[in-house]
Amino acid sequence: MAANPENLHYTKDHEWILVAGETGTIGITHFAQNQLGDIVHVQLPRVGDSFSANDSFGEIESVKTFSELFIPVSGEVIEVNEALGETPEAVNNAPYGDGWMIKIKISNASELDRLLNSTEYEDFTASQGED
C-alpha cells in the first residue's frame, strides 16, 4: 500500500484534502482507488457550486462499481480538474497528484479539525481490510 501523505487530511469516506491558505484541493485516496479498480468516469461539479461538509459533490465509476464522492469540508468550487473527463485513469495512476478532482475555497476551516491525519487514516484503512 502506498503511504498516505502526511500533509493531507482524510475522511472515513476515503477523500483527502490538501489545505493551502483558504484553498482546499480534494481527491480520493490510494486506498479508495485501489478498492474501486480501474476508473472509467468521473462526474464533478461546476465552478461556483457550493457544498456543505459531507455533501455529495460528484460520482466516480469504475469497471467494478459506482460511488458517490463526499466533500470533506464546506466550501465553494473554484477549480475543477477537467482533464479527468478525458483521462479518468489519472485517479488510479496518481490519486494524490494529477488525479485530484476539485479545488474549493474553504468556508469553515474549523471543520478540518474533525478529519483524520495520515496515521489515523492508515489505522482506519487497516481495519477495513485490503484486497
For the stretch 9-28, pLDDT in tens is: 999 999 999 999 999 999 99
The pTM score is 0.95
| Dihedral angle sign, alpha carbons of residues 74, 78, 82, 85 | positive
| Dihedral angle sign, alpha carbons of residues 51, 54, 24, 83 | negative
In 3-state terms, the chain is what percent helix, strand and coil (to 5)? 25, 35, 40
* pLDDT attached to residue 129: 64
For the stretch 46-84, pLDDT in tens is: 999 999 999 999 999 999 999 999 999 999 999 999 999
Question: Which structural domains are found in the chain, ordered by start?
Answer: 9-126 (2.40.50.100)
Res. 130: pLDDT tops 60: no
